[in-house]
Structure 1
C-alpha cells in the first residue's frame, strides 16, 4: 500500500523521490528529441561581469546516465566567452500543460573541434547551419535590421559543401548537472523536490 507521505500522485501515477528523479530525466530526453515539446527551448543563464545573463536555447541532447545536457552555439557568442570565464550555468524548463518546472544547475563544459562537435555538426541540418555562417559575430551592432547572412545564404541558396565553413564557428555547451529543483503546481497544494547530485541526496521541500 502506497504511503502518500513518501510521494505524490500525478495523473494517477504515484512517484516517490527515486521515480520522480527518473521522470525529470525522461522529460528532459523528450525535450531534446521532440521539437514541439515544452522542454525543447529552456531559458539558460550564465554569469557576465557579476550579473545574470539569460537567453533561450534549444536543448539538443539529454544524457541521463552521465547527467549531461547539451546545447549548440556559436563560439563567437558572448555566452561562450562568459562560460569560458565562469562555468556556473543554469537552465529553466517549464511545461504549462503539466504544470511542472525544473530548475537545473551545474557547470558548463565547452566542446570545440572534438569528436562530440564533429558528430553533432555532421547531423546538423542545412537550414540550421545558416546560424554559423554570419560574417560578423552574434551581438555585433548593425546600422540596419539584419540576419547577418548574405542574401544567398538567407534564402537558403547554398550547398551542404558551402555550409562546411560554418563548422569553425560551431561549438557545444554541455551542462554537467549538479542539481535539479522540481516544482509541480497544483490547486490543492504545490509540491517540490530537490535532487542534489553532489551530495547524492534527494529531498522533499516546501514549495
Structure 2
C-alpha cells in the first residue's frame, strides 16, 4: 500500500525526492551504458516555424549541474536552430519499467574548446566518420548515400586522417530546467514534476 506522499514501484517506496534522485541515476546510466533504454533519447528543437524531432545518443550526464550532453555536426539543422533559439526538450522512455522522462531546458553549444577537444579524443574512429561527410547533414542527394567517400565508408583511414572531422564536431549541452516524470501502471498511472527554476517538486495528475 502507498501512503499519501509515497508510491511503491517494484516493492520499493519512493518519495518525490527519491524519484528525482532516481531520474538522475537513470540518466547517468544512460550516458555510460549503450544498452540502457535512456541511451538514445528523442530531442526536439524549434526552427523555421516548425518543431524538429530526432534521436540522439546521450553522451554525458552531470547531476551536480543538472546537465546532459550529446554530440552533433555543427553543420546540422539542429545546431543552427539552437543558435537561433536555445529552447530544447528531450524525451526518454524505458519500456521495461514503463517510466518516461520529459526534460525541458536551454542548450549551450560547444565547439573548439576544452569540452569538445576532450570528447573528440575519446571518440572512436567509427564515430568520427559521421563528421567526415563532404556535404552537411540533411543535404539532398540523387542517390542513396552515406555522404562519405568509399575509403572512409570502409574505414580505410587512420585516426590522424580522421582529425579533419574535428572542425565539424560540436557538443550540445542541455541545462535542465524541469523534469516531467511519468510511471505507467495498469492500476493507475503516477506523475511528478520537478521544477528547478522555482525549486518545486510536485505530484501531478497523469
TM-score, with length taken from structure 1 = 0.98
Match of 2:77 in 1: 78
- Provide the rounded CA distance (Å) in 2 between the counterparts of 1:205 and 1:50: 30
Match of 2:197 in 1: 198
SS of equivalent residue, structure 1 residue 60: strand
- Provide the rounded CA distance (Å) in 2 between the counterparts of 1:13 and 1:65: 25
Quote the offset at 1:7 in angstroms.
1.3
Asked if residue 32 in structure 1 is aligned to residue 31 in structure 2, the reply is yes
Match of 1:12 in 2: 11
- Provide the rounded CA distance (Å) in 2 between the counterparts of 1:8 and 1:181: 16
Match of 2:121 in 1: 122
| CA offset digits 1:49-98 (Å, max 9, x no partner) | 22111000000001101100100000000000000000000000000000
Quote the offset at 1:157 in angstroms.
0.6
- Provide the rounded CA distance (Å) in 2 between the counterparts of 1:32 and 1:94: 14
Match of 1:106 in 2: 105
Any residues of structure 2 matched to 1:1-207 within 5 Å, and which?
4-207=3-206
Unaligned 5+ segments in structure 1 are none
- Provide the rounded CA distance (Å) in 1 between the counterparts of 2:97 and 2:118: 33
- Provide the rounded CA distance (Å) in 2 between the counterparts of 1:62 and 1:168: 24
